[in-house]
Amino acid sequence: MRISIFGTGYVGAVTGICFADLGYHIIFTDVDESKLKIINQGKSPVYESGLQTLLEKNRQKISTTQYALEAVLQSDMSFICVGTPSNEDGSIDLQFIKEVSRTLGAAIAKKNSPHIVVVKSTVIPGTIEDVVQPLIKMESQKKANIDFFIVSNPEFLREGKAVYDFFNPDRIIIGTDDSISASIIAQLYSSLNCPKMFTSIRTAEMIKYVNNAFLATKISFANEIGNVCKKAGIDSYEIFKGIGLDSRINPQFFRSGIGFGGSCFPKDIRALIAYSKEKGIRPRILEAVLETNQDQPEKLIFLLKRHIAIKEKKIGILGLAFKPETDDIRESRAITVIHHLLAEGARIVAFDPIAMDNFRKIFPNIEYADIPDVVLQSDAILIITEWPEFENLDYDGKIVIDGRNIKNAQKNAKIYEGVCW
């Protein structure tokens, strides 16, 4: 089985390299040639734990091309793994999906055997049938009997654990109207032991959104309860441990704190809200999920101000990535917090184990330092990301306002405040 991957970002790179490890031949293509060059040099185009090793192990099975036609002609199926960002109104921006669909259409028209197009990108229900499929057909009109099949196969990969998640999925969703394509895609994953669910294309598209929306709802619920607990002098971590013991409630994803960031949750919830409204439904719970999430970093600043007047003070920021084990800073809570602190005249000294280079691109003028210096130099410390190294610091004599429940800080700091505990 030969697979071409369109888009070599987080999803495409992980999917392609992991498929190579399952034994398939992979051809990567991307409009950004520099990413292909990186792969050709034997380097992973994204930082993801375990991915580099897997790439090195499977190099003979991986090639790249900047030409979509070559990618299609040399493969049995193409995975669409391009980004689906937000428009300004929160709705899904399909520009990359449209571009890649046209490109695929033109290439498939030149092929003499059937081709399967698998959409891995997160797209709002109806996108595949109403946008991707027609565009492929339109571009390939030049040929009478265009032979292609389309499948929705959403990803559920957590950044930082994406390789593990690829090989240990909870389930694989295969959405298509064509039974042969369904069994070919199921066959691709046959060595992965998990339930495989076959659905219509629209259902598969929706499952992905509802999955993320429910997880984000759990977090905002934990934060709302956490805010009440904080006022009441109750540790919300104990509350969620307690309710997690109820067999109807899964204890995971109930960590209160300063809320969710990243490339998926905020944008997917916004897109689902816009889609619901388009269908004439006001999604009140989803709106509240976003609202609670937006307010949560402010709680940290509020607590800080209880202990220090922040103007001209040096505030140490521990953690810039949107979560540990990644250098991804998209919609990181650190961005909101630092904007707020700067607006109030604070000075910033920040540390992150791997996300500082990315952060420098958007905040070139704040100070960056190693962990000991951040702790030494700052008048107060804010913990933004739960990196394990923050557990072993000496917070003795410091004011620490913690957004992520770092136990050691709780023990050592002169003044310690947890956002929801």
Shortest CA distance to 185 belongs to which of 107, 98, 119? 119
Mark whether 264 is an active-site residue: yes
Report the site for ligand UDX in 115-144 (rule: CB under 6 A): none
Are 403 and 333 contacting, i.e. CB atoms less than 8 angstroms apart? yes
Report CA 208 to chain centroid distance, whole Å. 12
Q: Output 260 or 395, the one with its CB closest to ligand UDX.
A: 260
Catalytic residue among 18, 81, 229, 264: 264
Euclidean distance between CA atoms 142 and 102, whole angstroms: 13
For residue 193, the minimal CB distance to ligand UDX (Å) is 19
Longest dimension (CA), the chain: 76
Q: Output 270 or 323, the one with its CB closest to ligand UDX.
A: 323
Q: Output 156 or 198, the one with its CB closest to ligand UDX.
A: 156
Q: Does residue 157 bind ligand UDX (CB under 6 A)? A: yes
Q: Does residue 219 bind ligand UDX (CB under 6 A)? A: yes
CB atoms within 10 A of CB 160: 19
For residue 240, the minimal CB distance to ligand UDX (Å) is 9
Report the site for ligand UDX in 350-369 (rule: CB under 6 A): none
Euclidean distance between CA atoms 315 and 374, whole angstroms: 9
For residue 219, the minimal CB distance to ligand UDX (Å) is 4
Which residue from 230, 267, 323, 398 is in contact with ligand UDX, where contact means CB under 6 A? 323
Euclidean distance between CA atoms 19 and 192, whole angstroms: 11
Q: Does residue 92 bind ligand UDX (CB under 6 A)? A: no
Which residue from 139, 155, 327, 379 is in contact with ligand UDX, where contact means CB under 6 A? 155
Q: Output 105 or 261, the one with its CB closest to ligand UDX.
A: 261
Which residue from 21, 48, 139, 159 is in contact with ligand UDX, where contact means CB under 6 A? 159
Which residue from 156, 167, 189, 198 is in contact with ligand UDX, where contact means CB under 6 A? 156
Q: Report strand pairing: 415-418 vs 399-402.
A: parallel
> Under rule CB under 6 A, how many of the chain's residues touch ligand UDX?
20
Q: Output 156 or 189, the one with its CB closest to ligand UDX.
A: 156
For residue 137, the minimal CB distance to ligand UDX (Å) is 29
Q: What spatial distance separates the first Cα and last Cα of the chain, rounded to whole Å?
A: 52
What x/- string results for residues 243 through 262 when contact with ligand UDX is judged by CB under 6 A? Answer: ----------xxx-x-xxxx
Q: Output 15 or 140, the one with its CB closest to ligand UDX.
A: 15
Q: Name the one range near ligand UDX by CB under 6 A: 199-207, 211-219, 355-363, 369-377.
A: 211-219
Q: Output 167 or 253, the one with its CB closest to ligand UDX.
A: 253
For residue 145, the minimal CB distance to ligand UDX (Å) is 37
For residue 289, the minimal CB distance to ligand UDX (Å) is 12
Are 256 and 237 contacting, i.e. CB atoms less than 8 angstroms apart? yes
Which residue from 6, 24, 275, 322 is in contact with ligand UDX, where contact means CB under 6 A? 322
Question: What's the chain's Rg over C-alpha atoms?
Answer: 23
Report the site for ligand UDX in 262-321 (rule: CB under 6 A): 262, 264-265
Euclidean distance between CA atoms 67 and 239, whole angstroms: 55
Residues within the interface to ligand UDX (CB under 6 A) = 155-159, 212, 215, 219, 253-255, 257, 259-262, 264-265, 322-323
Q: Which residues are known to be catalytic?
A: 264
